[in-house]
Amino acid sequence: MTLRLPKTFSVYQRVESMIHPNQHRTAFNILWLCLLVLTLVLTSPGCTPAPSDFVKKKQVLRLATTTSARDSGLLDVLLPEFERENDCRIDVIAVGTGAALQLGSSGDADAVLVHARHAEQRFMSAGYGSRREEFMKNEFVILGPADDPANVKGRSARQILSILSSKNQRFLSRGDESGTHQKERELWVGLNIEPAWENFMESGQGMGATLTMADEMRAYVLCDMGTYLNFRDRIELAPLNSPSAGLDNHYSCIVVNPDRHSHLTPNLANSFADYLISRSVQQKIGRYQLHGFSLFTPTRLAETP
């Protein structure tokens, strides 16, 4: 392991090895050659994984989605069937709502699946999207330490938030322009409260990481139902707000406007939107359960034939 120069390596040996390249050198050259060949073989197209993709060029739908939709596991149920029916491949890019819309506007995604109504409406009115379909909803929930130091259990979301701010309680906000963060800001604006008290903090991370942090810090936090159900066994936080407190969380699918980007696959994206609001998929969404709880309510079941 030491990098000490070999002391026995005399000048004579050094000169001699230069004049008569010995076996060491040959062995070394062979080693290099082997490495080179290996690299070439490994990087050649035939050796890369999933060779079937090269044999038959499938159409690809790039779907930028929020992490909460991916983490809920719903996409794993819905996407394979669509891929089979349309003989295509869906590349899921799971990012925050802000980033998903950004990917849509720059043409790096064909469709986006997000949950932030105001941002979506801005996106549509700027002409980045050609079609927007709300297709399901669930609820947000306010979580807090089980012993509830602010004593807010059972109140409505608005009451809880104003109590937390007036009592200088620890509150951990996402602060990352995600759908959940935008919902939270909407609530603060509605309450006319500037969320800047001493123990108000912004994590700037995803929902899962933020939940873990809030759990460690014993802070209150706004969370979407899906992530909470995924984490409920690992954290000590408990849901506190009374139900039906105006914490609806609408998910929609936006087809990115193909007029702006010639390389998009609008047909596929359009049929994906059709697929999501079709009766069978809506029923499937309604039946989907996570840890024994149904997670999403389909919102287009009534109008589809």
CB of 199 or CB of 267, closer to another protein: 199
CB of 193 or CB of 217, closer to another protein: 217
Smallest gap from Cβ 211 to another protein, in A, equals 12
CB of 7 or CB of 20, closer to another protein: 7
Tokens of 278: 């079709």
Which residues here bind another protein, judged by CB under 8 A?
Answer: 1-5, 95-96, 98-103, 175-178, 201-206, 209, 213, 216-217
Task: Give the bridge partners for 144, in sequence order.
Answer: 238
Smallest gap from Cβ 199 to another protein, in A, equals 11
Smallest gap from Cβ 172 to another protein, in A, equals 8
Smallest gap from Cβ 303 to another protein, in A, equals 32
CB of 211 or CB of 285, closer to another protein: 211
| CB burial string 11-48: b at 16+ within 10 A, e below | eeeeeeeeeeeeeeeeeeeeeeeeeeeeeeeeeeeeee
The closest of 294, 114, 137, 141 to 214, measured between CA atoms, is 141
CB of 108 or CB of 248, closer to another protein: 108
CB of 98 or CB of 226, closer to another protein: 98
Smallest gap from Cβ 96 to another protein, in A, equals 5
| CB burial string 191-215: b at 16+ within 10 A, e below | eebebeeeebbebebbbbebbbebb
Smallest gap from Cβ 12 to another protein, in A, equals 22
CB of 81 or CB of 216, closer to another protein: 216
Smallest gap from Cβ 206 to another protein, in A, equals 7
Residues in CB range of 119: below 8 A, 6 or more apart? 97, 98, 101, 179, 182
Smallest gap from Cβ 110 to another protein, in A, equals 17
CB of 139 or CB of 215, closer to another protein: 215
